[in-house]
Amino acid sequence: MSLDLSLNKILIIDFGSQFTQLIARRIRELGFFSEITSHKKIKNKDINNKIKGIILSGGPLNVYEINKYSFDKKIIQKGIPVLGICFGHQIISKLNGGRVKQSKHREFGLANIYKKNDSLLIKNFFYKKKSMKVWMSHADQVSKLPKNFKVIASSKNSKFAIVENKTKKYYGVQFHPEVTHTDNGKRIISNFVSLICKMKRNWSYKDQKKKLILQVKNQVGSNKVICALSGGVDSSVVAQLLNKAIGNNLHCIFVNTGLLRKDEEKQVVTTFKKRLKINLTYVNAEKEFLKKLSNISDPEKKRKIIGNLFIKIFERYAKKIKNVKFLAQGTLYPDLIESRSVTGSQTSKIKSHHNVGGLPKKMKLKLVEPLKFLFKDEVRKLGLELNLSREIISRHPFPGPGLAIRMPGIITKEKIKILKEADHYFIQALRDHNLYNKIWQAYVALLPVKTVGVMGDNRTYEYLCLLRAITSEDGMTADFYEFKKSFIQDISNKIVNSIRGINRVVYDITSKPPSTIELE
Ligand code: XMP
């Protein structure tokens, strides 16, 4: 287990809550650094003087089985302030001699809590109100408080909704202050971090940029670094950060698979090579990809072929650059967190994701991952600090396999051409109507079906295309975007009238789950 030693921090010990990452985000939004570690990995010896406070997350575990999971209680007995959230609150009570039992009334969803006593933790939390709405999600609860603990707030079903032991600096909340459904929940987190842990602000994008540039310089020295640039947000920010840090020692490779959005390759070359003066090798591999994909219609086969060929081409070009010691990747914090499967359950494989970030492991290069402590929205803000245009940093996500998975069935040059045009019309219309930034991701897919239509008294027999536009927080769940009828009608007319090959447009109104965002 190695924690970052360069910054003071709030350490979040994860017990498997679905909200753990939100806790880290809230703390960083407030301007403080925080790091997540798994309860399975953290040892007493890892607790150093950079840790100004500890938060124990919620989780699906059960406090009665405390001996089954290896959590060294000395970790929270060092005088560092500790805040327990939900399950974390129950652990603090249990480890200090209190009792936890199954609640008679399980609480899931909103509940009102009422103030009983003052505490730094709730300073300005209740405003002048008698009660606040909080988000509960628990089946167990503390039934007897340990000695010297005080009740700060209660709900109808949880007498010990907020508790504290001021002398020992233990604080517990049965609800989730990190979720937006809890009114003013951020205040509780901010009070813990700044008033109780007395931490000074140490996380801003300006500082962050300087720190990361210095960090990259120190890590790679005068060695060369290669980077697979896709033109997406993460790889663009990595490339620009390295450009600022090491200039000509950065070598980016951009592979045009022929499955990109309309004119994307031109935009990437113009932005990165011409405008930002980044060392960029442009590889046109359209023909190679099309050849390998000919007559392939199975989604998983498509994904594997594209992923493998991408690596092969990348390696081929990377070898031409001499004395490369490092590979830069846009790994983000959510990719890193080790404790995702704290309950031991395996998430089933839905799709084989191909990501330019996760590339050539075989190449024996050392990794440079400057974004590995950042969340996506933080990467976007950093991108702005690095002078990347808003257009680049607010781009919708685009999958590694590109248009191949937006074209169920076999892939042909003709279909790619039609799809690129239709997608372009749709995205441009979103921009023209100021809708692009309200939508998390939007695209057109070309379905492997032809239908009959009538245009200018003539029969047509052409493809059917599908529009997808979703709102989402993180791509894990999604809902379809509700366009006005006039907008969707206009775009349908425009596509059918302007693009030869499409005579019908449908709009996908399924959410994720049960559907996924992409079609394949
Ligand atoms: P799904 O279709 O799984 O997509 O609901 C969730 C998000 O992931 C993107 N996606 C990919 N991104 N490589 C990527 O880099 C991939 O292979 C891939 N497949 C899907 C998708 O566009 C959406 O944003």
Locate the ligand 1 atom nearest the alpha carbon of residue 478 and give its number: 5
Å from CA of 440 to ligand 1 middle: 12
Torsion sign (Cα): 183, 114, 118, 79: negative
Is the distance from the beta carbon of residue 174 to the nearest atom of ligand 1 less than 6 Å? Answer: no
Indicate which residue's Cα is closest to atom 24 of ligand 1.
397
Å from CA of 55 to ligand 1 middle: 32
Is the distance from the beta carbon of residue 512 to the nearest atom of ligand 1 less than 6 Å? Answer: yes
Residue to mutate, 353, 376, 476, ligand 1, most ligand atoms under 8 Å from C-beta: 353
Locate the ligand 1 atom nearest the alpha carbon of residue 400 and give its number: 13
Q: Name residues whose C-beta falls within 8 Å of residue 185's C-beta, 6 or more positions apart in sequence.
A: 26, 134, 135, 176, 177, 178, 179
Question: Do residues 63 and 206 make contact, with C-beta atoms less than 8 angstroms apart?
Answer: no
Is the distance from the beta carbon of residue 352 to the nearest atom of ligand 1 less than 6 Å? Answer: no
Is the distance from the beta carbon of residue 401 to the nearest atom of ligand 1 less than 6 Å? Answer: yes
Å from CA of 518 to ligand 1 middle: 7
Please list the residue range(s) of the chain that carry CATH number 3.40.50.880.
9-196
Torsion sign (Cα): 494, 497, 501, 504: positive
Å from CA of 399 to ligand 1 middle: 5
Is the distance from the beta carbon of residue 235 to the nearest atom of ligand 1 less than 6 Å? Answer: no
Locate the ligand 1 atom nearest the alpha carbon of residue 519 and give its number: 2
Is the distance from the beta carbon of residue 208 to the nearest atom of ligand 1 less than 6 Å? Answer: no
The third-level CATH classification (topology) of the domain covering 9-196 is Rossmann fold (3.40.50)
Indicate which residue's Cα is closest to atom 10 of ligand 1.
399
Indicate which residue's Cα is closest to atom 18 of ligand 1.
399
Locate the ligand 1 atom nearest the alpha carbon of residue 350 and give its number: 3
Give the C-alpha separation, 105 to 289, whole Å. Answer: 58
Active site residues: 86, 176, 178
Is the distance from the beta carbon of residue 185 to the nearest atom of ligand 1 less than 6 Å? Answer: no
Question: Do residues 421 and 327 make contact, with C-beta atoms less than 8 angstroms apart?
Answer: no
Of 497, 489, 439, 496, which Cα lies nearest the Cα of 468? 439
* Identity of the amino acid at 319: K
Locate the ligand 1 atom nearest the alpha carbon of residue 441 and give its number: 24
Residue to mutate, 349, 356, 423, 517, ligand 1, most ligand atoms under 8 Å from C-beta: 517
Is the distance from the beta carbon of residue 516 to the nearest atom of ligand 1 less than 6 Å? Answer: yes
Question: Do residues 419 and 406 make contact, with C-beta atoms less than 8 angstroms apart?
Answer: yes
Show the tokens assigned to 101: 């039992």
Locate the ligand 1 atom nearest the alpha carbon of residue 352 and give its number: 17
- How far is C-alpha 319 from the geometric centre of its chain's CA atoms? 32
| pLDDT at res. 331 | 85
Is the distance from the beta carbon of residue 304 to the nearest atom of ligand 1 less than 6 Å? Answer: no
Is the distance from the beta carbon of residue 351 to the nearest atom of ligand 1 less than 6 Å? Answer: yes
Å from CA of 437 to ligand 1 middle: 19
Indicate which residue's Cα is closest to atom 3 of ligand 1.
516
Q: Name residues whose C-beta falls within 8 Å of residue 316's C-beta, 6 or more positions apart in sequence.
A: none
CATH architecture group of domain 205-393:
3-Layer(aba) Sandwich (3.40)
Indicate which residue's Cα is closest to atom 22 of ligand 1.
399
Å from CA of 98 to ligand 1 middle: 46
Å from CA of 353 to ligand 1 middle: 7
**Right CATH number for 407-507 from 1.10.1060.10, 3.30.300.10, 3.40.50.300, 3.20.20.370?**
3.30.300.10
Q: Name residues whose C-beta falls within 8 Å of residue 439's C-beta, 6 or more positions apart in sequence.
A: 396, 430, 469, 470, 471, 481
Is the distance from the beta carbon of residue 230 to the nearest atom of ligand 1 less than 6 Å? Answer: no
Tens place of pLDDT for every residue, the chain, 520 residues? 567 777 899 999 999 888 888 899 899 989 999 999 988 889 999 999 999 999 999 988 888 776 666 788 899 999 999 999 999 999 999 999 999 988 777 778 889 999 999 999 999 999 888 899 999 888 888 999 999 999 999 999 889 999 999 999 999 999 999 988 888 999 999 999 999 999 999 988 887 899 899 999 999 999 999 999 999 999 999 999 999 999 999 999 999 999 999 999 999 999 999 999 999 999 999 999 999 999 999 999 999 999 999 989 998 998 899 999 999 988 887 776 543 443 333 345 667 766 654 555 666 789 999 998 888 888 999 999 999 999 999 999 999 999 999 999 999 999 999 999 999 999 999 999 999 999 999 999 999 999 999 998 899 999 999 999 999 877 877 899 999 999 999 999 999 999 999 999 999 999 988 999 999 9
Question: Do residues 147 and 176 make contact, with C-beta atoms less than 8 angstroms apart?
Answer: no
Locate the ligand 1 atom nearest the alpha carbon of residue 518 and give its number: 2
Please list the residue range(s) of the chain that carry CATH number 3.30.300.10.
407-507
Å from CA of 191 to ligand 1 middle: 38
Is the distance from the beta carbon of residue 517 to the nearest atom of ligand 1 less than 6 Å? Answer: yes
| pLDDT at res. 207 | 79
